[in-house]
Each structure stands twice: as C-alpha cells, then as structure tokens.
Amino acid sequence: MPPEQTPPSALPDQPPQPRRRLSTRQRLLFFLTAWLIVLMPFLFWWNTWFGRNLSDKQLTEYLHDDKKPRHIQHALVQVGERMAKSDPKVKDWYPDLVRLSSHPEEEVRNTDAWLMGQDTSGAGFHQALLKMLNDPSPMVRGNAALSLVRFGDASGRAQIVGLLLPVNIVAPQIGLVAKTSSVGTAVHQNGVIARLESNGEMIEVRSPISGRVSALAAGMGQSVKVGAPLATVSPATDQVWEALRALYLVGQAEDLPAVSRYQRDLPEIPEHIRKQALETEQAIRQRAR
C-alpha cells in the first residue's frame, strides 16, 4: 500500500522569491539608452531645420562649409529672410551668393539663383544669373531665368517656357524595368521614377523636376535600351505659377501654345493657374499688337 499523500492544501507555504533588482550600472545604461532615443531625433531635426536662427558668425561659417551642403542651404535661407526684412547687414554676404552660383551641389545653386533675384541692386548678381542660364540643371536654369525677369532681362525666356512643359524621362542605360511609379504619383525633384536592373545592379532613374507622373512609357519587366522613354513628369503647380507670372511680363506670341495648355478645365489644373494662364495670354497678345 503506497504511503499516504499529503493534500496540496497541507503543504507548507513557500517563501516568496525576492524580485531581482537592477544594479546601478544597469539602471544607468537603461536611462542613458532612453535619453539617446529621445535626443538623437532632436539633434537630427536641430541640425537640418532651416528655421533655426544663425548668428552672423555662424552664417559666414555655414556659407563656406563646402563639406556640408545642408549648412550652405541653411545659411542661404537665412540670407533670404534677412533680404526680405531689408536688413542692411545682409549685403556683407552678397559676394558669397555670387561665388556659390558655381557650387557643385545643384540644391545650393538652385536656392542661390532664386535669392539673387530678390535684390536687383546686388553687385555681380545680374552677370552671375546670366551664366547660370547654361547650368546643367533645368531647375537652376529656370530659377535663374525667373530672377533675371526682376532685372528687366528677358534673356531666359526660353528657359521659362521650358518650366511649363512636361519632362520626358529616358533610360540612362540598357536594362530591365524592375519597378516604376504609377500615373498620378507626386514626385519631388531627384525623386526615383523607375529602377532598372542592369548587369546584376539596380539603377535608380530620377526626375529632374518636382511634379506629377502623367504617363508611363515602359512597364514592369520590359527590356529597354539607352535613351528609351520611361515616363513623363508634368511640372509642379508652384513652378507653373511662377513661369506664367514671368511670361505675363516677357512672353512672346510663340510662347502661347505652352501657356494655353493650362487654360483647360481639368482636375489637375487649379483655378488660380487657369486664371493666370488667361491673363498671361491677354498680356502677350496686347504686346504683339
């Protein structure tokens, strides 16, 4: 006969197990990790936010920081704000604006071209903008042309008309289309439009302008040659608005086909754009008469 079992309720109470406490070193590591999780995004935002005010010394340093183009852009934004406030001190940095017109970074030249149109009294601005009409970037050429209008100079009229036209994106090399954007997708300047697989490598095809994908010429899995059309990007509304306003002042009769395309009653054409296109056409026809 087996020995008599003690019922569970009769078992002696087990002493509670003490909770393991974190050591001082572990607690410090925990708080340090949590602090870094909060701090790192803040530092990234702080270093990339162009609204942060720079002292005169910082502004000068940032304008000459060729290793960090974001610093130069930050400084240029600050210069623009001072120009808008008619700060007499801002003229001290005008020679830097002329110098940066040939900077290797497209984003820097693009912002610089726009700024030099904000003060037509700037020494050297006019000549620098004329040279920028030959810039390899269509956006830099466009901004230079728009700024020249403020000088009463219509030398960049062809570039301004170009701002109204869609851009055809072509294959930079032979490959297989691995991915494409869809029609109607908004895209930023230098945004990826398609990816090509070529010799085991993935090639990103980017848009030179901001806007909207209005057409696709190549589908997924299609083999394309160098220069084959991939997509068409229509210019962004802000770009069209500025170009129409400039052509209101300097446009010629041969520019009317590019202007009239924005008079159509289409969902993608805002009402203020249609109105400006009509006013621009009227101004051009009056000059032609």
For the chain, the structural domain boundaries read 31-155, 167-234, 236-289
31-35, 118-122, 278-282: least confident range = 31-35
Residue 64 clears pLDDT 50, i.e. is over it: yes
Q: What is the pLDDT of residue 50?
A: 47
The tokens describing 189, both together, are: 């300047």
Distance in angstroms (rounded) separating the CA atoms of residues 29 and 34: 9
pTM listed for this prediction = 0.78
Residue 10 clears pLDDT 70, i.e. is over it: no
Confidence of residue 200 (pLDDT cuts 50, 70, 90): confident
Q: How many residues does the chain have?
A: 289
Distance in angstroms (rounded) separating the CA atoms of residues 224 and 228: 6
pLDDT, tens only, 75-100: 999 999 999 999 999 999 999 999 99
pLDDT, tens only, 108-162: 999 999 999 999 999 999 999 999 999 999 999 999 999 999 999 999 999 999 9
- Give me the CATH code for the 167-234 domain, please: 2.40.50.100
Tally Cβ neighbours within 10 Å of residue 263: 16
Which CATH number fits the domain 31-155, given the four candidates 1.25.10.10, 3.60.20.10, 3.40.50.300, 1.10.8.60?
1.25.10.10
Residue 34 clears pLDDT 70, i.e. is over it: no
Portion of the chain with pLDDT greater than 70, in percent = 82
Residue 220 clears pLDDT 90, i.e. is over it: no
Domains 31-155 and 167-234 share a fold: no
Q: What is the pLDDT of residue 31?
A: 59
Distance in angstroms (rounded) separating the CA atoms of residues 211 and 196: 21
pLDDT, tens only, 169-191: 999 999 999 988 899 999 999 99
Question: Strand (E) positions, the chain?
Answer: 167-170, 175-180, 186-187, 192-198, 201-206, 211-216, 223-224, 229-235
DSSP-H helix ranges across 166-270: 237-250, 256-260
Confidence of residue 16 (pLDDT cuts 50, 70, 90): low
Portion of the chain with pLDDT greater than 90, in percent = 67
Residue 36 clears pLDDT 80, i.e. is over it: no
Q: What is the pLDDT of residue 219?
A: 85
Confidence of residue 265 (pLDDT cuts 50, 70, 90): confident
Residue 40 clears pLDDT 90, i.e. is over it: no
Residue 197 clears pLDDT 80, i.e. is over it: yes
